Amino acid sequence: MDFGPYLLLASLEGAVTAAVLALTAVGLSLVFGVMRVVNVAHGEFFMLGAVLAWWVAHLVGDAHPAVGFLLALVVAPLLVGGIAVLADVTVLKRVNYDPERTIVATIGILYILQQVTLMTYGPDARPVEPPFNTRLALPFVEWGENGLQLYWPWGLSTTSYKLAVIGAAVVVLLGVWGLMARTRIGLLMRATQLDRDMALAFGIPVERVYAMVFGIGAGLAALAAVLIVPIQQAHYLMGGDPLLLSFIVVIIGGLGSLPGTVLAAVLIGLSDGIISVFFSPTLAKILATLLVALVLVFRPQGLFGVRRA
Protein backbone atom coordinates (compact mmCIF):
# COMPACT_ATOMS: atom_id res chain seq x y z
CA MET A 1 0.00 0.00 0.00
CA ASP A 2 1.08 3.57 -0.65
CA PHE A 3 1.30 6.26 1.98
CA GLY A 4 -2.10 7.82 1.15
CA PRO A 5 -4.32 4.77 1.72
CA TYR A 6 -2.28 3.96 4.82
CA LEU A 7 -3.02 7.39 6.23
CA LEU A 8 -6.74 7.02 5.43
CA LEU A 9 -6.83 3.66 7.21
CA ALA A 10 -5.02 5.09 10.26
CA SER A 11 -7.44 8.03 10.36
CA LEU A 12 -10.45 5.72 10.23
CA GLU A 13 -9.12 3.65 13.13
CA GLY A 14 -8.30 6.91 14.90
CA ALA A 15 -11.84 8.17 14.34
CA VAL A 16 -13.28 5.13 16.13
CA THR A 17 -10.88 5.72 19.05
CA ALA A 18 -11.82 9.40 19.04
CA ALA A 19 -15.57 8.63 19.11
CA VAL A 20 -15.28 6.33 22.11
CA LEU A 21 -12.79 8.61 23.81
CA ALA A 22 -15.08 11.63 23.37
CA LEU A 23 -17.91 9.84 25.19
CA THR A 24 -15.66 8.69 28.05
CA ALA A 25 -13.94 12.04 28.41
CA VAL A 26 -17.19 14.04 28.32
CA GLY A 27 -18.35 11.95 31.27
CA LEU A 28 -15.16 12.77 33.17
CA SER A 29 -15.36 16.42 32.16
CA LEU A 30 -18.99 16.70 33.26
CA VAL A 31 -18.12 15.35 36.71
CA PHE A 32 -15.14 17.67 37.02
CA GLY A 33 -17.01 20.69 35.70
CA VAL A 34 -20.09 20.45 37.88
CA MET A 35 -18.70 18.78 41.00
CA ARG A 36 -15.05 19.99 40.90
CA VAL A 37 -14.10 16.40 41.62
CA VAL A 38 -11.38 14.35 39.93
CA ASN A 39 -12.79 10.87 39.52
CA VAL A 40 -9.87 8.45 39.32
CA ALA A 41 -12.32 5.52 39.22
CA HIS A 42 -13.73 6.69 35.85
CA GLY A 43 -11.77 4.05 33.91
CA GLU A 44 -13.27 1.33 36.09
CA PHE A 45 -16.79 2.49 35.23
CA PHE A 46 -15.71 2.07 31.59
CA MET A 47 -14.44 -1.42 32.36
CA LEU A 48 -17.65 -2.31 34.23
CA GLY A 49 -19.68 -1.25 31.18
CA ALA A 50 -17.72 -3.65 28.97
CA VAL A 51 -17.91 -6.53 31.45
CA LEU A 52 -21.66 -6.02 31.98
CA ALA A 53 -22.14 -5.94 28.20
CA TRP A 54 -20.50 -9.36 27.99
CA TRP A 55 -22.66 -10.57 30.87
CA VAL A 56 -25.91 -9.38 29.26
CA ALA A 57 -24.95 -10.84 25.87
CA HIS A 58 -24.04 -14.07 27.61
CA LEU A 59 -27.39 -14.24 29.44
CA VAL A 60 -29.38 -13.64 26.25
CA GLY A 61 -27.44 -16.51 24.74
CA ASP A 62 -28.43 -18.00 21.43
CA ALA A 63 -30.67 -15.23 20.10
CA HIS A 64 -29.41 -12.94 17.32
CA PRO A 65 -26.30 -11.03 18.55
CA ALA A 66 -28.14 -7.74 18.00
CA VAL A 67 -30.66 -8.60 20.75
CA GLY A 68 -28.00 -9.04 23.42
CA PHE A 69 -26.07 -6.00 22.21
CA LEU A 70 -29.07 -3.67 22.18
CA LEU A 71 -30.09 -4.90 25.62
CA ALA A 72 -26.54 -4.30 26.89
CA LEU A 73 -26.62 -0.80 25.40
CA VAL A 74 -29.52 0.00 27.75
CA VAL A 75 -28.76 -2.14 30.80
CA ALA A 76 -25.00 -1.59 31.25
CA PRO A 77 -25.03 2.25 31.44
CA LEU A 78 -28.04 2.18 33.79
CA LEU A 79 -26.44 -0.35 36.13
CA VAL A 80 -23.08 1.43 36.10
CA GLY A 81 -24.81 4.76 36.65
CA GLY A 82 -26.60 3.21 39.63
CA ILE A 83 -23.33 1.95 41.11
CA ALA A 84 -21.82 5.41 40.66
CA VAL A 85 -24.76 7.10 42.40
CA LEU A 86 -24.35 4.63 45.24
CA ALA A 87 -20.61 5.43 45.49
CA ASP A 88 -21.42 9.14 45.49
CA VAL A 89 -23.99 8.90 48.27
CA THR A 90 -22.06 6.51 50.50
CA VAL A 91 -18.52 7.86 50.06
CA LEU A 92 -18.04 11.14 48.18
CA LYS A 93 -20.89 12.98 49.88
CA ARG A 94 -19.53 12.01 53.28
CA VAL A 95 -16.09 13.50 52.62
CA ASN A 96 -17.83 16.72 51.48
CA TYR A 97 -16.24 16.51 48.01
CA ASP A 98 -12.96 17.75 49.47
CA PRO A 99 -10.66 17.54 46.41
CA GLU A 100 -7.75 15.64 47.98
CA ARG A 101 -9.79 13.21 50.04
CA THR A 102 -12.04 12.55 47.04
CA ILE A 103 -9.03 11.55 44.95
CA VAL A 104 -7.84 9.14 47.63
CA ALA A 105 -11.37 7.74 48.03
CA THR A 106 -11.83 7.26 44.27
CA ILE A 107 -8.46 5.47 44.10
CA GLY A 108 -9.91 3.13 46.73
CA ILE A 109 -13.11 2.71 44.69
CA LEU A 110 -10.95 1.98 41.63
CA TYR A 111 -9.28 -0.96 43.36
CA ILE A 112 -12.54 -2.23 44.85
CA LEU A 113 -14.34 -2.28 41.48
CA GLN A 114 -11.35 -3.74 39.65
CA GLN A 115 -10.62 -6.47 42.16
CA VAL A 116 -14.26 -7.46 42.67
CA THR A 117 -14.46 -7.86 38.89
CA LEU A 118 -11.34 -10.02 39.02
CA MET A 119 -12.91 -12.20 41.71
CA THR A 120 -16.25 -12.65 39.94
CA TYR A 121 -15.59 -12.27 36.21
CA GLY A 122 -12.06 -13.63 36.27
CA PRO A 123 -8.82 -12.68 34.54
CA ASP A 124 -9.86 -13.69 30.98
CA ALA A 125 -10.57 -11.33 28.11
CA ARG A 126 -13.94 -12.16 26.55
CA PRO A 127 -15.46 -10.95 23.28
CA VAL A 128 -18.96 -9.70 22.51
CA GLU A 129 -20.32 -10.32 19.02
CA PRO A 130 -21.17 -7.16 17.09
CA PRO A 131 -24.81 -6.85 15.95
CA PHE A 132 -23.73 -6.41 12.33
CA ASN A 133 -20.29 -6.47 10.79
CA THR A 134 -20.06 -6.11 7.05
CA ARG A 135 -16.66 -5.50 5.57
CA LEU A 136 -16.64 -2.38 3.42
CA ALA A 137 -13.79 -1.94 0.94
CA LEU A 138 -12.86 1.67 0.35
CA PRO A 139 -11.64 3.29 -2.85
CA PHE A 140 -8.74 5.69 -3.16
CA VAL A 141 -7.73 8.10 -5.90
CA GLU A 142 -4.56 7.83 -7.92
CA TRP A 143 -3.08 9.63 -10.90
CA GLY A 144 -3.65 7.26 -13.79
CA GLU A 145 -3.47 7.51 -17.58
CA ASN A 146 -6.73 9.43 -17.81
CA GLY A 147 -6.07 11.82 -14.97
CA LEU A 148 -7.50 11.15 -11.50
CA GLN A 149 -9.22 7.80 -11.15
CA LEU A 150 -10.61 5.64 -8.38
CA TYR A 151 -8.99 2.35 -7.47
CA TRP A 152 -9.47 -0.20 -4.66
CA PRO A 153 -6.21 -0.75 -2.81
CA TRP A 154 -5.82 -4.12 -1.13
CA GLY A 155 -6.42 -4.03 2.62
CA LEU A 156 -8.05 -0.61 2.70
CA SER A 157 -11.36 -1.40 4.35
CA THR A 158 -13.48 -0.76 7.37
CA THR A 159 -16.54 -2.42 8.81
CA SER A 160 -20.11 -1.18 8.98
CA TYR A 161 -19.95 -1.61 12.75
CA LYS A 162 -17.03 0.80 13.12
CA LEU A 163 -18.90 3.45 11.13
CA ALA A 164 -21.97 2.84 13.32
CA VAL A 165 -19.87 3.43 16.46
CA ILE A 166 -18.81 6.82 15.13
CA GLY A 167 -22.43 7.66 14.25
CA ALA A 168 -23.73 6.54 17.65
CA ALA A 169 -21.13 8.62 19.48
CA VAL A 170 -22.14 11.73 17.53
CA VAL A 171 -25.81 11.13 18.36
CA VAL A 172 -25.10 10.63 22.07
CA LEU A 173 -22.88 13.72 22.24
CA LEU A 174 -25.63 15.78 20.61
CA GLY A 175 -27.99 14.32 23.21
CA VAL A 176 -25.71 15.40 26.06
CA TRP A 177 -25.48 18.87 24.55
CA GLY A 178 -29.28 19.01 24.30
CA LEU A 179 -29.61 17.85 27.90
CA MET A 180 -27.22 20.52 29.16
CA ALA A 181 -28.49 23.39 27.01
CA ARG A 182 -32.21 22.77 26.54
CA THR A 183 -33.65 21.00 29.59
CA ARG A 184 -34.47 22.03 33.14
CA ILE A 185 -32.11 19.41 34.55
CA GLY A 186 -29.31 20.82 32.41
CA LEU A 187 -30.12 24.28 33.70
CA LEU A 188 -29.84 23.05 37.30
CA MET A 189 -26.49 21.43 36.49
CA ARG A 190 -25.13 24.59 34.90
CA ALA A 191 -26.36 26.68 37.82
CA THR A 192 -24.61 24.34 40.26
CA GLN A 193 -21.45 24.50 38.16
CA LEU A 194 -21.42 28.30 38.16
CA ASP A 195 -21.95 28.80 41.88
CA ARG A 196 -22.75 25.98 44.23
CA ASP A 197 -23.69 28.14 47.21
CA MET A 198 -25.92 30.45 45.19
CA ALA A 199 -27.64 27.44 43.63
CA LEU A 200 -28.23 26.07 47.12
CA ALA A 201 -29.64 29.41 48.23
CA PHE A 202 -32.11 29.31 45.33
CA GLY A 203 -33.40 25.96 46.48
CA ILE A 204 -31.64 23.71 43.97
CA PRO A 205 -31.14 20.27 45.56
CA VAL A 206 -27.38 20.38 44.96
CA GLU A 207 -26.70 16.99 46.51
CA ARG A 208 -29.18 15.31 44.19
CA VAL A 209 -27.70 17.16 41.21
CA TYR A 210 -24.24 15.91 42.24
CA ALA A 211 -25.42 12.31 42.54
CA MET A 212 -27.09 12.55 39.14
CA VAL A 213 -24.06 14.12 37.44
CA PHE A 214 -21.80 11.41 38.89
CA GLY A 215 -24.24 8.77 37.63
CA ILE A 216 -24.50 10.31 34.14
CA GLY A 217 -20.71 10.66 33.90
CA ALA A 218 -20.20 6.99 34.77
CA GLY A 219 -23.07 5.99 32.47
CA LEU A 220 -21.40 7.74 29.53
CA ALA A 221 -18.17 5.83 30.18
CA ALA A 222 -20.13 2.57 30.34
CA LEU A 223 -21.95 3.42 27.09
CA ALA A 224 -18.62 4.07 25.37
CA ALA A 225 -17.36 0.72 26.60
CA VAL A 226 -20.43 -1.16 25.31
CA LEU A 227 -19.83 0.43 21.90
CA ILE A 228 -16.15 -0.57 21.81
CA VAL A 229 -16.44 -4.06 23.32
CA PRO A 230 -17.28 -5.83 20.01
CA ILE A 231 -13.99 -4.42 18.64
CA GLN A 232 -11.85 -4.86 21.79
CA GLN A 233 -12.53 -7.55 24.37
CA ALA A 234 -13.82 -7.12 27.91
CA HIS A 235 -11.03 -7.47 30.51
CA TYR A 236 -10.77 -6.45 34.15
CA LEU A 237 -7.68 -4.28 33.56
CA MET A 238 -9.03 -2.46 30.48
CA GLY A 239 -9.90 0.69 32.47
CA GLY A 240 -6.33 2.01 32.67
CA ASP A 241 -5.86 3.30 29.15
CA PRO A 242 -9.24 5.06 28.80
CA LEU A 243 -8.64 6.75 32.16
CA LEU A 244 -5.25 8.07 31.10
CA LEU A 245 -6.47 9.15 27.67
CA SER A 246 -9.59 10.79 29.14
CA PHE A 247 -7.42 12.74 31.56
CA ILE A 248 -5.25 13.86 28.69
CA VAL A 249 -8.28 14.91 26.65
CA VAL A 250 -10.00 16.72 29.51
CA ILE A 251 -6.85 18.64 30.38
CA ILE A 252 -5.95 19.59 26.82
CA GLY A 253 -9.54 20.60 26.18
CA GLY A 254 -9.68 22.76 29.28
CA LEU A 255 -10.96 21.36 32.56
CA GLY A 256 -14.74 21.32 32.63
CA SER A 257 -15.37 22.66 29.12
CA LEU A 258 -17.52 20.24 27.10
CA PRO A 259 -16.90 21.59 23.54
CA GLY A 260 -13.16 21.76 24.27
CA THR A 261 -13.27 18.17 25.51
CA VAL A 262 -14.91 16.90 22.30
CA LEU A 263 -12.48 18.85 20.11
CA ALA A 264 -9.51 17.50 22.09
CA ALA A 265 -10.88 13.95 21.91
CA VAL A 266 -11.00 14.13 18.12
CA LEU A 267 -7.48 15.60 18.03
CA ILE A 268 -5.99 13.05 20.45
CA GLY A 269 -7.91 10.07 19.04
CA LEU A 270 -6.86 10.82 15.46
CA SER A 271 -3.25 11.57 16.30
CA ASP A 272 -3.06 8.51 18.56
CA GLY A 273 -4.31 6.33 15.68
CA ILE A 274 -1.93 7.90 13.16
CA ILE A 275 1.15 8.02 15.44
CA SER A 276 0.63 4.41 16.58
CA VAL A 277 0.55 3.21 12.96
CA PHE A 278 3.73 5.00 11.95
CA PHE A 279 5.70 5.09 15.23
CA SER A 280 5.99 3.04 18.43
CA PRO A 281 2.76 3.18 20.51
CA THR A 282 4.86 3.45 23.70
CA LEU A 283 6.66 6.50 22.33
CA ALA A 284 3.29 8.02 21.37
CA LYS A 285 2.07 7.55 24.94
CA ILE A 286 5.24 9.01 26.45
CA LEU A 287 4.92 12.12 24.29
CA ALA A 288 1.20 12.46 25.08
CA THR A 289 1.65 12.21 28.87
CA LEU A 290 4.55 14.67 28.82
CA LEU A 291 2.50 17.04 26.68
CA VAL A 292 -0.34 16.93 29.22
CA ALA A 293 1.93 17.55 32.17
CA LEU A 294 3.50 20.52 30.39
CA VAL A 295 0.11 21.90 29.32
CA LEU A 296 -1.02 21.78 32.96
CA VAL A 297 2.16 23.52 34.07
CA PHE A 298 2.27 26.27 31.47
CA ARG A 299 -1.35 26.61 30.27
CA PRO A 300 -3.58 25.34 33.10
CA GLN A 301 -6.73 26.52 31.35
CA GLY A 302 -6.12 24.02 28.52
CA LEU A 303 -5.20 24.63 24.90
CA PHE A 304 -8.73 25.73 24.01
CA GLY A 305 -9.82 27.13 27.35
CA VAL A 306 -10.18 30.78 28.24
CA ARG A 307 -8.29 32.08 31.23
CA ARG A 308 -10.71 33.05 33.95
CA ALA A 309 -10.41 36.58 35.26
Partner 1 sequence: MSDGARSLALHGALLALLLAGAFVLPAYHHGVLARVMVLSVYAAGYNIMFGYTGLLSLGHALFFAAGMYGMGLAVQHGGVTPALGLLAGLGCGLAVAFALGLLALRTAGVAFMIVTLMFAQAGYLTVLYFGPYTRGDEGFVLQGAQRVLFGFDLSDAGVRYIAALILFAAVLVGVLALVRSRFGRVLVAIRENEERARMLGYDTFAHKLGAVVISGGIAALAGAAYGLLFGYVGATFASVQYSIFPLLWVLLGGAGTVIGPFLGTLFMFYLIDLSSGYTSAYMLIAGVVLVALTLFAPQGLAGELRRRIWRGLP
Tell me which residues touch partner 1 (CB under 8 A).
38, 91, 94-95, 99-101, 103-105, 107-112, 114-116, 118-119, 123, 244, 247, 251, 280, 282-283, 285-286, 289-290, 292-294, 296-298, 300
Q: Is the CA virtual torsion 166, 25, 231, 229 positive or negative?
A: negative
Report yes or no: 289 and 244 within 8 Å, Cβ to Cβ: yes
Question: Smallest distance from the beta carbon of 103 to partner 1, in angstroms?
Answer: 6
Spatial separation of the C-alpha atoms in residues 119 and 129, rounded to whole Å: 24
- For partner 1, which is the closer residue by CB, 119 or 150? 119
Spatial separation of the C-alpha atoms in residues 57 and 70, rounded to whole Å: 9
Question: Smallest distance from the beta carbon of 293 to partner 1, in angstroms?
Answer: 4
- For partner 1, which is the closer residue by CB, 82 or 300? 300
- For partner 1, which is the closer residue by CB, 38 or 125? 38
The SS3 of residue 123 is coil
- For partner 1, which is the closer residue by CB, 227 or 284? 284
* Cα distance from N-terminal residue to C-terminal residue, the chain: 52
Distances (CA, A) of 304 to 107, 147, 181, 256, 259: 29, 41, 20, 11, 9
Question: Smallest distance from the beta carbon of 120 to partner 1, in angstroms?
Answer: 9
- For partner 1, which is the closer residue by CB, 112 or 187? 112
Question: Smallest distance from the beta carbon of 31 to partner 1, in angstroms?
Answer: 13
CB count, 10 Å around CB of 244?
15
Question: Smallest distance from the beta carbon of 283 to partner 1, in angstroms?
Answer: 6
Strand partners, 141: 150
